[in-house]
Each structure stands twice: as structure tokens, then as C-alpha cells.
Chain A
Amino acid sequence: MAETILIVDDDLDILELLKMNLEPEGYNVRTANDGESAVQSACANPPDLILLDVMMPHKDGFQVIEELKNIEDTKNIPVILVTARGQTEDKVLGLDTGADDYITKPFDLREVTARVEAVLGRTRPIKYINPLMNAMGDKFSEEGLQQLAGHLQAAAAIQKKLLPEQAPRLEGFDIAILLQSSTSVSGDFYDFIPLSETQIGLVLGDVKGNGIPAALLMVMIRTALRLLCHEEDTPASILKRINDLVVRDTEADLFATMVYGILDIANATFTYSNGGHCYPFHWKTTNEMGVLKTQGMLIGAFEEATFSSDICSLSPGDVLVFYTDGITETETGNGEGFSENQGASTNTVEEDMFYGGDKLADCISKNAELSASALCDSIVNDLTVFSGNTSTHDDRALIIIKRNI
């Protein structure tokens, strides 16, 4: 049976043009020339896809999507937004609202056909299953969602098991850890691996990308690290080998950043290498703030990545702070809706909108005399004050290592 497309636009010429273009492709085409009748038409007889103009009087495209998403029969209908050229904000907002794709006016008719086919291609398999599920007395969407939630929970549980719950107790050192996840599956990870009587391997990393693929990459990296850290001498050669293992098996946009190092308790040294991760801080009792600035490529993106190792000595009272960018990218609570006033504001103002490395360094300096866990609490408090709330959009992780006085 031919699939039905509902085209919504207040410009009758465009309606006609799209209709003439899509009908020969074998689609049934219905039209509506304002938001209100679009919602009515979609509810009365749900189409397979809606091609929806954003800019319409009375009820715009975003309002139409919002209404449709709240109605059981229409909430799963795929929507392609048609936006005016240059209105990037519209595209972002559209995808946020739940549109499946967008087309920019003026459009190439071949592009319209291609996008319609692509979106229908993605949603078709679900639709074929839907009647079956209905026949069995279940709604696919709910069932599917529950199943997906189950998988996510399982992934989160596996991941949690891999992350040590407590900081290791080491003679002469005070260690605190923090992990806050924005979703059930975290992109941030850390691990402590005993290497010998006096040495412990330490990693803090951040897998970029979301959901299950990112969680899988994290598991891959952690496993590779656990195996390799006993074989290789230097942190740099370990990162190099992890990169080479991972780069073959991942898409280009799935990568990680991480710091790996060996804490030597007997000599009070930390030997480390960095794969594209935020540089850890080293607060010294001389009240200087150092940065562990060894450079290395992010992990898993490039075959020819290089890494180097460096070493630092920890005097009694010195503090090392490892963190992920969820900390420094915490947004300020002042300035509601500042994302909409781009162009008007200067860069420096926007930079102040984020917590940033400087504020973190300040907070560490001011509280470095405290215990590791009290310092950790101070940083979390500072972030809460800065952002005005406790919820976080990104994952946050911290490891604090303090050499006892």
C-alpha cells in the first residue's frame, strides 16, 4: 500500500510543487495550509510522514510538532521540518523538539525526495512490526521502549560494576573520587589498578558520544588497559597500544580522552601520559599551581597518534586533581536564555558563562589544605553555586590525590 505524506505549508505554490514532485514517486499526498488543519488531518487519519513548514501564521511548525507528540496516535509519525535558509536556530530547535530531519528552503526537489525516502526507510521496519504487536494486544512503542530501557539498565549495571565504588586506601595518600552521571550510562570512567606492592595505575577518562556505543567503547578501553598495564613500561606506550586497538574498531566520531599514570607510593612520584584529556592540576604546598601538561592525541580517532610520558614528584601536602570537561563546562545559572542572545554578546562574556579551568584552579588553591574528600565537596559546592542548581547536563568525574603531610 502506498505510503501517505502530509505536506503542511501556508504557501500554496510550494504545496503544489511538493505534491507534483512526490506523487510520481508513488506516495499518496495530502496537504494542509495551516498548523491547525495539519493537526486535525494528522489526528483524523495519521499519515506515514509529515513534511512541515516552520514559519506559518497562528500556529507554527514547532507548535504542531509539540501537539502531535502529545497525542498517542500521532506521536510516532516522523516529521521533516522545512526551514528558511540561514535559520540555524530553527534547525537546532526543531531537532530538540523531536523532528526527524530538516530541509532548507530554497530546496532542491531531488533532495526532498531523498530525505523523505531516507526517513521513511528508517521508520518503515518499526511500522511493519506495529500491526503485529497490536494484534497481540501490545503497543510496539511501549513494549519497545521498555525493552530498550531494560538494555540500558543492564548496560548501566555492567558499567557500574566496572567502576570501583571506593577510592583505594594507600599508605601515605588520601584519595577521593566523584562520578555524577547525567544519564544512566556514563561516558566518564576511572579505574585504579594495583601494579605492585608500591605502584598503582590510575586512569580517568571520558568517552565522547552517547549511549550504548560509548559505553561499549569504555568497556573496551578499560579491558585493554587492565591487560596492557602489566605488559608495557611507560604510560605513553600503553596509550599508544590502546589507541591502535580501538581505532580499528570504532567509527571516526567515537573516541575517548584519558589520562593514565602510575602512582609510586615509595618514591612519591606520578608518571603519566595524556590522550587528549584536560590537563590535571598539581597544587604544591609552596602554593604554586602546576599543570600536568604532557600532550597526546585523543584516543581512537587517528591511526598515527603519538603520546609522551612525563613524571612529577609529590611533596607532602601536594594535591593532584584529575577531572573531566563536565566540570569545566558547567554553565552559569545567571543569564537565563543566554543561548538565544548570540551575536549580541561578546566572546569574553560567553566564556564567563562556563565554570572553566581558572575557577577550578582557584577553588583547589583555596581548599587544598582540606582532606581529599572535603576538597571534593568544596568543588561540588562551588559548581552548585556557580550553576544555581544541582542538575547536570554532562557527566562529571573527579579524582583527588593528596600526599599526606
Chain B
Amino acid sequence: MNFETTIGEQNISILHVEGKILGNAADVFRKEMSEQLQIGRDKLVVNLMNVPLIDSSALGAIVVTLKSCQRSGGKLVLLNPQKAVREVLEITQLSTVIEIYDTEEGACAAFM
């Protein structure tokens, strides 16, 4: 797994992840998100376009960050999850509590 964080308009952090998020990679993923929160960036877009698979630790990271964002008045949204990841989000019904967008414009508009 690899990622890069870019800062968009209105201080929205867009986390572009590449590769599977499994095991220790999920810890790194989680830490990157919590670092964004620590510096006050609680508007997070996680770009999952290049993520073929996530495991339960990655789900845990998303759940924890989602809750932290909500507590501080921000939001976490997901961008473009692929088939296998989308299935996991649907089976666990996280898709009912996290907003999912197909385009970056749409994801960023969620914070307007």
C-alpha cells in the first residue's frame, strides 16, 4: 500500500490510497488519517479507486476515523471504491453510514 495526501479547496484532505489495505498497512492508513485530524483537518476524502481489497483492520480504521470526524464536526467520505471493496462496505452496511461518491467533485461538494 502507498498513499499521498493532497489538500483541496476549503482545507479538504484527499487521501489517495494505492494497493491493498491489509494488516500493518491498515495501521499506517489509520495513523495517516488520525494525523490529518490532529492538525485540524477533519474533512477527509479517502480515494479508494486503486484499492483492490481491504480487511477488517482497514474497516476498523475507517469506522474510528469516521466517528472522530463526526465528533469534531467534520466528515469522512469515500471516493470510488472498487467492486470487492464496495461489496465489503455493503455487506457490513457501512455504506449506509458513510457517504460514497464516484467523482472527486462530488466528494468535495459533500462538504459545502
Q: Do A and B interact?
A: yes
A350 contact from B20, B27, B63, Cβ within 8 A: B20
Task: Determine whether B74 belongs to the interface, using a CB cutoff of 8 Å to chain A.
Answer: no
Min distance, Cβ A347 to any Cβ of chain B, angstroms: 5
Task: Determine whether A173 belongs to the interface, using a CB cutoff of 8 Å to chain B.
Answer: no
A86 contact from B4, B61, B64, B84, Cβ within 8 A: B4
A351 contact from B84, B91, B93, Cβ within 8 A: B84
In the complex, A257 Cα to B92 Cα: how many Å? Answer: 8
Interface of A is mostly: loop
Min distance, Cβ A298 to any Cβ of chain B, angstroms: 5
Give chain B residues whose Cβ lies under 8 Å from the Cβ of A343: 2, 18-19, 50
Q: Contact mask B1-43 → A, CB, 8 Å, 1/0?
A: 1111000000000000011100011011000000000000000
A325 contact from B56, B61, B96, Cβ within 8 A: B56
Min distance, Cβ B98 to any Cβ of chain A, angstroms: 11
A295 contact from B24, B52, B93, Cβ within 8 A: B93
Give chain B residues whose Cβ lies under 8 Å from the Cβ of A206: 56
- Whether A339 and B53, one on each chain, are in contact in the complex, defined by CB atoms closer than 8 angstroms, is no
Task: Determine whether A203 belongs to the interface, using a CB cutoff of 8 Å to chain B.
Answer: no
Closest to B92 in A: A276
Min distance, Cβ B41 to any Cβ of chain A, angstroms: 14
Q: Which of B67-101 contact A (CB under 8 A)?
A: 67, 82-84, 90-94, 96-97
Give chain A residues whose Cβ lies under 8 Å from the Cβ of B106: none
Min distance, Cβ A304 to any Cβ of chain B, angstroms: 8
- Whether B2 and A86, one on each chain, are in contact in the complex, defined by CB atoms closer than 8 angstroms, is yes
Q: Contact mask A323-337 → B, CB, 8 Å, 1/0?
A: 001000100000000
Q: Contact mask A280-323 → B, CB, 8 Å, 1/0?
A: 00000000000000011110011001000000000000000000
Interface range for A:
35 or more
Task: Determine whether A89 belongs to the interface, using a CB cutoff of 8 Å to chain B.
Answer: yes
- Whether B61 and A253, one on each chain, are in contact in the complex, defined by CB atoms closer than 8 angstroms, is yes
**A298-B93, A342-B1 given as contacts; is B63 within 8 A of A95 (CB)?**
no
- Whether A298 and B53, one on each chain, are in contact in the complex, defined by CB atoms closer than 8 angstroms, is no
Task: Determine whether A208 belongs to the interface, using a CB cutoff of 8 Å to chain B.
Answer: yes
In the complex, A91 Cα to B31 Cα: how many Å? Answer: 11
Min distance, Cβ B27 to any Cβ of chain A, angstroms: 6
B91 contact from A89, A254, A277, Cβ within 8 A: A277
Task: Determine whether B55 belongs to the interface, using a CB cutoff of 8 Å to chain A.
Answer: yes
**A86-B2, A86-B4, A89-B2 given as contacts; is B60 within 8 A of A95 (CB)?**
no
- Whether B64 and A342, one on each chain, are in contact in the complex, defined by CB atoms closer than 8 angstroms, is no
Give chain B residues whose Cβ lies under 8 Å from the Cβ of A297: 92-94, 96-97
Task: Determine whether A260 belongs to the interface, using a CB cutoff of 8 Å to chain B.
Answer: no
Chain B CB within 10 Å, residue with most, of A206, A209, A257, A276: A276
**A92-B24, A339-B20 given as contacts; is B97 within 8 A of A298 (CB)?**
no
Min distance, Cβ A299 to any Cβ of chain B, angstroms: 10
Min distance, Cβ A124 to any Cβ of chain B, angstroms: 22
- Whether A329 and B55, one on each chain, are in contact in the complex, defined by CB atoms closer than 8 angstroms, is yes
Min distance, Cβ A272 to any Cβ of chain B, angstroms: 14
Task: Determine whether B46 belongs to the interface, using a CB cutoff of 8 Å to chain A.
Answer: no
In the complex, A342 Cα to B19 Cα: how many Å? Answer: 6
Task: Determine whether A17 belongs to the interface, using a CB cutoff of 8 Å to chain B.
Answer: no
Task: Determine whether A72 belongs to the interface, using a CB cutoff of 8 Å to chain B.
Answer: no
In the complex, A278 Cα to B63 Cα: how many Å? Answer: 18
Give chain B residues whose Cβ lies under 8 Å from the Cβ of A89: 1-2
**A88-B1, A88-B2, A350-B20 given as contacts; is B57 within 8 A of A298 (CB)?**
no
Min distance, Cβ A102 to any Cβ of chain B, angstroms: 8
Min distance, Cβ A84 to any Cβ of chain B, angstroms: 12
In the complex, A95 Cα to B28 Cα: how many Å? Answer: 9
Closest to A276 in B: B92
In the complex, A296 Cα to B52 Cα: how many Å? Answer: 24
Task: Determine whether A96 belongs to the interface, using a CB cutoff of 8 Å to chain B.
Answer: yes
Task: Determine whether A2 belongs to the interface, using a CB cutoff of 8 Å to chain B.
Answer: no
- Whether B3 and A88, one on each chain, are in contact in the complex, defined by CB atoms closer than 8 angstroms, is yes
B residues near A (Cβ < 8 Å) are 1-4, 18-20, 24-25, 27-28, 50, 52-53, 55-57, 59-61, 63-64, 67, 82-84, 90-94, 96-97
Known interface pairs A252-B64, A297-B92; 6 further A-B residue pairs with C-beta atoms within 8 A, sorted by A's residue number? A89-B1, A257-B91, A276-B92, A278-B91, A329-B53, A342-B18
Would you give 10 A-B contacts (Cβ < 8 Å), ordered by A?
A: A208-B57, A252-B67, A279-B91, A297-B92, A298-B59, A339-B19, A343-B18, A347-B52, A350-B20, A356-B84
